[in-house]
Amino acid sequence: MKLATYKDGSRDGQLVVVSRDLALAHFATGSATRLQQVLDDWNFISPQLQDLYVTLNQGKARHAFPFDPRMCMAPLPRAFQWVDASAYLPHLQRLRQARGAELPESLTTDPLMYQGGGDDFLGPCDDAWFGSEAWGIDFEAELAVITGDVGMGASPEQALDGVRLLMLANDWSLRHLVPAELAKGFGLLQSKPATAFSPVAVTPDELGEAWQGGRVHLTLQSSCNGRKVGLNDAAPDMQFHFGQLIAHLAKTRNVRAGSIIGSGTVSNADPGKGFGCLAEKRAFETLQDGAPKTPYLSIGDVVRLEMKGRDGTSLFGAIEQRVAGPQALQPPEEAGLAEAGTGADASDG
């Protein structure tokens, strides 16, 4: 099943069930108004939503309406926990190699994860607002899961059973603020502003055989201003699967329903696949040519992330966000937002 949260002026929005092809939506009001409610009481509420989903897919839902991703908040507009990993080693390897740092051996056995802020997520089509271009604005194309309750000390297999929903994330990053925060050792705070999530969150069964061993065996498409940045296979280079990441988090505490765990920037050892963020592209350029040639993002740039199922249809809908900031913005039409939106399929493919 596919779930989304519609903007209604409230902080938590209105839960909607979305058809498999992302064409239709239906308010879930009879069962729940907010996604957190569903996660809090999954076994009781989710079957009701699944029934509505089946009816909706059959074209028989009486109050269905056309689904519009621009009406979406993040599926969980705010979450009690957001933890992001860095589970793709090629991403770390390139970044560290480019600055002449060693990759510690332990990273193959001990996941790198940081705790993020869950209080202010962005919807998939919301502008991402930054105080300064000088901060080094970058996107990160990621997968993320939303969990049910996972008890302290859970094994990776038990933790994997706790995965309720999957979605895409754009983990906005401020690259020039990262080094000082890494040096402090206390994690990433100012360098990780509000994260955005895909229009819909989907249950693992929607992925069919593409969901295997806690990894998603599909391609994550990243583009900037309609031009491809990456077409990355999400499975092969993911060092730790989602069950392992959740279990790492749960070693010393309970992980409660509605926790979001991100994969980190999807990346491949093969640079021909492109990159899931600009920092990695710049690191690759540095390693090749001695200096980066791709600039970080500017006000007005549009980032688009999407993942298609094996049948070629969009699984989660696209994250498509414009970089916004204190300098005056052009109206969306003139800035080419509509164009990037409609033209992205071709340029991403």
Which residues are within 8 A (CB) of 45 and not within 5 positions of it... i.e. 6 or more apart?
Answer: 31, 32, 37, 38
Return the SS3 of 196: strand
| Lookup: tokens for 57 | 């897919």
Query: In the complex with a copy of itself, which residue's Cβ is closer, 193 or 230?
Result: 193
Rounded to the nearest whole angstrom, what is the least distance from the CB of residue 54 to a copy of itself in the complex? 29
Rounded to the nearest whole angstrom, what is the least distance from the CB of residue 50 to a copy of itself in the complex? 23
Q: Does 131 bind a copy of itself (CB under 8 A)?
A: yes
Q: Does 99 bind a copy of itself (CB under 8 A)?
A: no
Size of site (CB under 8 A) for a copy of itself: 50
**What are the phi and psi torsion angles at 207 (to 5°)?**
-85, -10
For a copy of itself, which residue of 227, 253, 293, 310 counts as binding (CB under 8 A)? 253
For a copy of itself, which residue of 31, 33, 46, 86 counts as binding (CB under 8 A)? 86
91-95: Cβ within 8 A, 24+ apart: 91/264, 91/265, 91/266, 91/267, 91/276, 91/277, 91/280, 94/267, 94/280, 94/283, 94/284, 94/287, 95/279, 95/280, 95/283
Q: Does 242 bind a copy of itself (CB under 8 A)?
A: no
Q: What is the DSSP letter of 83?
A: E
Which residues are within 8 A (CB) of 58 and not within 5 positions of it... i.e. 6 or more apart?
Answer: none
Rounded to the nearest whole angstrom, what is the least distance from the CB of residue 282 to a copy of itself in the complex? 20
For a copy of itself, which residue of 50, 81, 97, 286 counts as binding (CB under 8 A)? 81
Q: Does 152 bind a copy of itself (CB under 8 A)?
A: yes
For a copy of itself, which residue of 11, 70, 227, 310 counts as binding (CB under 8 A)? 11
Rounded to the nearest whole angstrom, what is the least distance from the CB of residue 270 to a copy of itself in the complex? 26
For a copy of itself, which residue of 54, 55, 129, 347 counts as binding (CB under 8 A)? 129
Report, in angstroms and rounded to the nearest whole number, the Rg of the chain calculated over CA atoms. 19
Q: Does 346 bind a copy of itself (CB under 8 A)?
A: no
The total of other beta-carbon atoms located within 10 Å of residue 175's CB is: 18
Q: Does 8 bind a copy of itself (CB under 8 A)?
A: no
| Dihedral angle, C-alpha 301, 307, 313, 314, nearest 10 ° | -60
Angstrom distance (rounded) from CA 49 to CA 61: 12
Q: Does 278 bind a copy of itself (CB under 8 A)?
A: no
Rounded to the nearest whole angstrom, what is the least distance from the CB of residue 148 to a copy of itself in the complex? 12
Which residues are within 8 A (CB) of 200 and not within 5 positions of it... i.e. 6 or more apart?
Answer: 2, 3, 4, 18, 22, 72, 75, 167, 316, 317
For a copy of itself, the binding residues in 31-50 under the rule CB under 8 A are 40
For a copy of itself, which residue of 162, 193, 214, 262 counts as binding (CB under 8 A)? 193
For a copy of itself, the binding residues in 106-125 under the rule CB under 8 A are 110, 112-120
Cβ–Cβ < 8 Å for 164, 146: yes
- The footprint of a copy of itself (CB under 8 A) covers 11, 40, 78-81, 83, 86, 110, 112-120, 129-131, 135, 152-153, 174, 177, 180, 182-191, 193-194, 248-249, 251-259
